[in-house]
Structure 1
Amino acid sequence: MKISIGALLAVSLLFSCHAYAEVSLTTGAGYANMAKELAKTFSETSGSKVTENYGGNIGQMMAQIANGNGANVVISDEGTLKNLKTPVQLTNEQSLDNTPLVFIWRKGLDIKGVSELKSDKIKQFAYPDPKAAVYGRAAQQFLDNLGTDQFPKEKVMKIASVPQATAYVVKGEIDAGFVNRTAAKANKNKIGGSEEVLNGYTPIHMIVGVVKGHEKDQDVAQFLKFLQSEKGKKIPMKHGIQ
């Protein structure tokens, strides 16, 4: 009887801990700042702790979840998540709305926008790796529609991520780049200008999802509810999702 009672207590404790498991949030590098603000505001509002897991692209972060890093809430774009070959399954998905591809250029460059991409004024431009970043895929689709054979190889640079593309333009190491609205807004005083590219690629729809098995975690459910609150909705909008 003692063994049975002990086993029942252990199982009860396990389920109790699982039910109140804290939020462990992950996203790709391009939306780390937004995720950090969401985590901070949720913690201040609810008193619940949030563990944050940010790194390279969302594919790498999903691989870490598959390997047991413990993340239970994922923020990313719907298209990337659907195309990823991963054993990780997401449930309870909520929409955060759409966000556009943005073309930025360095200070001192006299251009009006992306319509001058083919001109000699732009010696080199960059965009994130299409295999790793949604904005890279969007940029690739946009360029394919323009006709990639019209650009000399030395004019086009594929790099790892949105933050890297942004940094190259901010430092003036290249003339222009394709990034997201968050990066463009955060660096508006460090670049020459920006233009939102609204056509020529599959729309980018951002979502939040719960890693399967954590649907009943009470802190996770509370976080999803927070995202639907006035405070929760303002943060993605501030970071360019609207």
Structure 2
Amino acid sequence: MKKTTWKHLLAVTSLALLIINPATADEVNIAVASNFAEPIKEIASRYETQSGHRINLIFWATGKHYAQIKNGAPFAAFFAADARRPELLEKEVVALPGSRFTYAVGHIVLWSPKAGYVDALGKILQHKPFRHLAIANPRLAPYGKAAQQFLQARGLWEGLQDRMVRGENIGQTFQFVRSGSAELGIVAYSQVKRPGHPLEGSLWEIPPTEYTPIEQQAVLLEENPVAREFMTFIKSPEAIDIILGFGYAIP
């Protein structure tokens, strides 16, 4: 797969926005972990309607975003899938002091788009009637790290190595399963829970005691009034209702 740089991503996205809306409203670029794509799209849409500003969302793995930010990517804020990277950015004086907060706590599930395929206790992982299990890359994606922790806790990690396919982020991992490239995968609960829609396929909610809680934090990267206002909006009851609706917990 051809490597996509942050400069290319921003150029393509910005051009599309200019074509759609040539207005002169203030616009900010915000880096977002791919698991949080659907909730933040809805939140950003409501904020844009109310404020008249434009929120330019760029989705990628948290580890990739962290490296891009360290290399000077022009993001005003960062919504990570963990607490470690925002904390590092704060310690490295890349992020604004005092701006870091937890906006959601995520969960992982074992999921297949096939109804009745995943049993209620996840024993399918031991019986192995599947060829491929998709997980996110543990080195880049916190949801992949959580999947690794769970599989190691169950003593399944080594035995499933030849069946694993790894996505660069949890979004790509979900697509592996949804497209049929993998029969099942360990994905974010928020990817299969859609407000107002029944759950698709079959899943098992992996016990949260078997992996480190996925505490997702956000941080400001520059003093920008629109970015700061958007960060405040994320904490509003309206935004929190959306986050909860996608299966996240709020600390």
TM-score band by shorter chain is 0.7 to 0.9
Displacement after TM superposition at 1:145 (Å): 0.8
Rg comparison, structure with higher value:
1
**Separation in 2, partners of 1:53, 1:38:** 14
Q: Which residue of 2 aligns with 1:98?
A: 105
Q: Deviations over 1:112-149 (max 9, x none)?
A: 14233111323331111000101100000011111136
Q: Which residue of 1 aligns with 2:234?
A: 227
Q: 1:189 to 1:165 in 2, by over 3 A?
A: farther
Q: 1:86 to 1:53 in 2, by over 3 A?
A: farther
Q: 1:120 to 1:220 in 2, by over 3 A?
A: closer
Contact 1:123 1:155 (8 Å CA) reproduced: yes
Match runs of 1:50-199 below 5 Å: 50-54=55-59, 56-76=60-80, 77-82=82-87, 88-91=94-97, 92-107=99-114, 110-113=117-120, 114-148=122-156, 151-186=159-194, 191-197=200-206, 198-199=208-209
**Separation in 2, partners of 1:160, 1:58:** 10
Q: Name the % identity.
A: 23
TM-score by length of 2: 0.75
Q: 1:221 to 1:153 in 2, by over 3 A?
A: closer
Q: 1:90 to 1:196 in 2, by over 3 A?
A: farther
- Please list every run of 5 or more consecutive structure 2 residues that lacks an aligned counterpart in the other structure: 1-24
Displacement after TM superposition at 1:150 (Å): 6.0
TM-score by length of 1: 0.77
Q: 1:138 to 1:30 in 2, by over 3 A?
A: same
Runs of 4+ in structure 1 off by over 6 angstroms are: 83-87
CA RMSD of superposed structures (Å): 2.9
**Separation in 2, partners of 1:43, 1:58:** 24
Q: Deviations over 1:83-123 (max 9, x none)?
A: 68977335412221311111102415634142331113233
